[in-house]
Structure 1
Amino acid sequence: MTDVSAATFVDSLRAAPLGPGGPVPGTDDAEPRLGLAMGTIFNLAKEYLDLPLGEIEVLLDTPLYEARVGALSIMDKKARRKRTGPDERRGLYELYLRRMDRIDDWGLVDLGAQYVIGGYLFDKPRDVLYRLARSPNVWERRTAIWATMFFVRQGDTNDMYAIAELLVDDPEHFVQTVVGGMLRTAGDHDADRLRAFLDNHAATMPRTALRYSIEHLDRPERAHYLSLAQARRS
């Protein structure tokens, strides 16, 4: 492909076949959506891995939801790619953090945070995650906990548990689901540490987070932790 730009990416989106549902309404702020299947956008993103960071930012600013999905998908694939150099990895990380005004739903966060943020920070100080975890912005908080998935998959669960402690009582559904899911995944590495966390928090943590976190425990343990929560609410 000779012309790799945000404009040609958007043109390709508009020319792509629609998903089975066809065109869909915009979001609450009336952002237009084409109705493309996510797989169509992800496949197109593979063709744009040489898109410069400045053009990715143009995509983020494009008033079309699929363009933002494409931007995050390109960022994710660049961050995963072995030949991506350290300067570009830093640029991807900084772009994500600088443009979180455009990373404002759970799907966009989940596309980028694990590899763009977590992958970059794996061998670096992780203070930024704690700042994000204390943010009033729900998507920054979701980013903080979801980014730790990269660490957990390497067997490093310390930051995940520390950030889960900060977010365990979060009132937002889209944070609760990730806190619970991350606890469940960390429990697959060390079930005893998960049990210790639940012993401290099961009685008071939101039910959504609790149910996600205990999914991989055996039935008697699930019943035990749910009974703690029920007793607290009675």
Structure 2
Amino acid sequence: MTPEQALQDIKALEDPQKAAEMAAYHKVERPYLGVSNPQLDALYKDWRKETDIAQRIEIAAYLWDSNIHEARIGAAKLLTQARIKPDQAVWDEICRWVPMFDAWAIADHACGAGARRLFLDDGRLDTVESWTQDENLWVRRAAMVITLPWTKSTHPKPEELAQRERILGWAAGYVNDPEWFIQKSVSWWLRSLSKHDPERVRQFMNDYGAGMKAFARKDATRLL
């Protein structure tokens, strides 16, 4: 399996009508092929059978650099894996993508891949923290999306609880950010956390909720 073959596999499924619909929906100027996520899932699972980690990184980098919507999502799916050792090259490739984020769908798939690498090596939170000051709103948003695993534990270990508090500090810094997608990333994080630690979310809302947009306050607390 070569990078070029992987891209041809995606292009072979092109559907011009669906591509036009996707372009209208996502509203970001780039090529669309009209290939669905289930179709991409079938492809990347086949690619994995034929490749090792180094080859997957090479394929993912090639697909990402094509700038094709489905290829970028395929790249992220290919690198979304729970156990990879060593995984520094995978993390480095995902971090290479981050400054190029410009839309939620691609960014969310990439953050899904990155979250697995991040949660297994919390020293990488230092890198993610630098994203919170980036001029690109999608990079700032990624800091919340990629850290969602820290919202999912009902009984976190002490070090995990400290990391959660660190990320909540970033969220507090976002409260006055006027960008809709930034506000949404904070409310998403809090809503996810509310399933496991509702009291901590109530505390956050008491401290910072007044500064949030009304829709974000509602979204953050709708499961409480």
Q: Report how far residue 95 of structure 1 moved.
A: 0.9
Could you tell me which residue of structure 1 aligns to residue 73 of structure 2?
69
Identity rate of aligned residues, in percent? 22
Could you tell me which residue of structure 2 aligns to residue 221 of structure 1?
none
Q: Which amino acid aligns with 1:35?
A: G
Mapped pair 1:47 → 2:46: yes
Could you tell me which residue of structure 2 aligns to residue 135 of structure 1?
134
| C-alpha distance after superposition, 1:143-185 (max 9, x if no partner) | 1111111222244432331221121222222222121011011
Contact 2:111 2:145 in 1 (8 A): yes
| Distance in structure 2 (CA, Å) of the matches to 1:61 and 1:171 | 31
Corresponding pairs, count: 207
Q: Which has the larger radius of gyration?
A: 1
Equivalent residue runs for 1:78-227 within 5 Å:
79-80=81-82, 82=83, 84-86=84-86, 89-117=87-115, 119-125=117-123, 126-154=125-153, 155=156, 156=160, 157-217=164-224
Query: Which sections of structure 1, spanning at least 5 residues, go unmatched?
Result: 218-234
Q: Which has the higher contact order (CA 8 A, sep 6+)?
A: 2
SS in 2 for 1:33: coil
Q: Which amino acid aligns with 1:70?
A: G
Instruction: Answer 1 or 2: which has greater helix percent.
Output: 2
Q: Alpha carbon RMSD of aligned pairs, Å? A: 2.3
Of the candidates 64, 72, 76, which is equivalent to residue 60 of structure 1?
A: 64
Note closer, same or farther for the CA distance 1:66–1:158 as it changes in structure 2 (3 Å cut). Answer: same
| Distance in structure 2 (CA, Å) of the matches to 1:36 and 1:59 | 14
Q: Report how far residue 207 of structure 1 moved.
A: 2.0
TM-score, length basis structure 1: 0.79
Contact 2:14 2:35 in 1 (8 A): yes
Q: Which 10-residue stretch deviates more, 141-150 or 94-103?
A: 94-103
Q: Which amino acid aligns with 1:149?
A: L
Contact 2:115 2:148 in 1 (8 A): no
Q: Report how far residue 130 of structure 1 moved.
A: 1.5
Query: Which sections of structure 2, spanning at least 5 residues, go unmatched?
Result: none
